[in-house]
Amino acid sequence: MTELTSLTIAEARTKLAGKEITAVELTDAYIAAIDSANEAINAYIAVTPDKAREMAKASDARIAAGKAGALEGIPLGIKDLFGTEGVHTQACSHILDGFAPRYESTVTQNLWNDGAVMLGKLNMDEFAMGSSNETSYYGAVKNPWRAKGSNLDLVPGGSSGGSAAAVAAHLCAGATATDTGGSIRQPAAFTGTVGIKPTYGRCSRWGVVAFASSLDQAGPIARDVRDAAILLKSMASVDAKDTTSVDLPVPNYEASIGQSIKGMKIGIPREYRVEGMPEEIEALWQQGIAWLKDAGAEIVDITLPHTKYALPAYYIVAPAEASSNLARYDGVRYGLRVDGKDIVDMYEKTRAAGFGQEVKRRIMIGTYVLSAGYYDAYYLRAQKVRTLIKRDFELAFHAGVDAILTPATPSSAFGIADEDLASDPVKMYLNDIFTVTVNMAGLPGIAVPGGVDHKGLPLGLQLIGKPFEEETLFKTAHVIEQAAGRFTPTKWW
């Protein structure tokens, strides 16, 4: 019998429904896998085996009673950004030391309502700020992938590095993640997994620790396109507690898997190329184009002329919102407190000790661009650029384009503690070059594995769609997946 942890969600669902396996067996298999692998990979920062077994038992009872939910008995990992009642929720920051909320985020509650089982909380960049998972207070996550013939540790990408690594190493059946500028899609691309950032407003942000509220969006990281569709269906909902969530029916995304893309118009934006981009990325892109053409899609060249301004504008808007959102961590009500001689001294000492370097950098940038005298020059201008970026996409869609194909990242996974990147934050920010536009415009974007580079490391393709047309992305990504195959790392841990 195949290992239980190698089953996809769709496969496990069939076996659970057919009573070939139980939810408790499946959960135990994942707990054992985490026990043996987590020291090496560091994907989980809190494991909740007792809670998991209890939830799995309840799932088995519901299956026996014929009352199974859509995700009944499926063990999932949860990014540490999602509030989970009574369970460690620290956004992988020191400043939230010991915090376990009294509430459950709407997204995770939706998953539990559908019968999913929680295995624990997953590592991430502190407050989701980073592209390598190295800014986590709990240390770096190791990518389950290694270059051919090398035993050097690579980053899994970020900020949802723990989610991507756990899915790739089969330490959960699927994971929740969030994406503000690429945090679902870049780690998915670096680990050979599938990640979708849905349209802004598709999932509720309620109970998710805020980074940049006008950009943050939750989504799944999964082993394949079908599993991503199954997970998103459960995660998405309108929510009275988040007025930016949208009241549109959540379609059965899985139904779009296998549908034809014949006659679809796929836009290829000429601006999605950067200096120094490996030829292999261009080759992957051309391969993706060929696959979609073979499946009957029409390929059209498009222009998104404001693309080059997206990254600088993002690194104004996101830190501005972050500086405001993170003002609440003051040592008074929860989390870390470092005593001082008076209350202001206490605030200062707490924030100095509680936030890491990258978070402090963003708070300072954000405070600067919002300050009197600089607001118009930076923040206001960045917001105007944001409108132009959105309009670029609208024009392309208006001209009949159904979806846009680009590379997901300008490189494959890089080494942990890469000196070049550590010394220059802007180089790290360049990881988001193909993904931030999507957040700035509020559109859905999916990363799907397209192949491996000469080092044997996975590379991802990105599809960008119209607002609330995630179904188009699922069916098109599935065509790529069928052509490219699935990617699993060789076990070294």
Ligand X SMILES: NC(=O)C[C@H](N)C(=O)O
- Residues of the shown chain interacting with ligand X in the complex, contacts defined by CB under 6 A: 128-131, 159, 179-183, 211, 318, 432
Q: Tell me the C-alpha distance between 468 and 342, whole Å.
A: 50
Nearest CB to ligand X, comparing residues 74 and 363 = 363
Q: Tell me the C-alpha distance between 212 and 173, whole Å.
A: 28
Q: Please, what is the minimum distance in Å from the beta carbon of residue 435 to ligand X? A: 7
Q: Please, what is the minimum distance in Å from the beta carbon of residue 318 to ligand X? A: 5
Q: Please, what is the minimum distance in Å from the beta carbon of residue 270 to ligand X? A: 24
Nearest CB to ligand X, comparing residues 71 and 212 = 212
Residue 324 among the catalytic residues: no
**Residue among 159, 163, 237, 245 flagged as catalytic:** 159
Contact 208, 91 (CB under 8 A): no
Q: Please, what is the minimum distance in Å from the beta carbon of residue 465 to ligand X? A: 18
Nearest CB to ligand X, comparing residues 179 and 227 = 179
Using Cβ positions, the residue closest to ligand X within the complex turns out to be: 183
Nearest CB to ligand X, comparing residues 211 and 272 = 211
Phi, psi of 45 (to 5 degrees): -110, -10
Q: Please, what is the minimum distance in Å from the beta carbon of residue 100 to ligand X? A: 23
Residue 79 among the catalytic residues: yes
Nearest CB to ligand X, comparing residues 211 and 468 = 211
Q: Please, what is the minimum distance in Å from the beta carbon of residue 61 to ligand X? A: 38
Q: Please, what is the minimum distance in Å from the beta carbon of residue 280 to ligand X? A: 22
Nearest CB to ligand X, comparing residues 180 and 193 = 180
Residue 36 among the catalytic residues: no
Nearest CB to ligand X, comparing residues 47 and 177 = 177
**Residue among 131, 183, 234, 323 flagged as catalytic:** 183
The residues carrying an active-site annotation are: 79, 159, 183
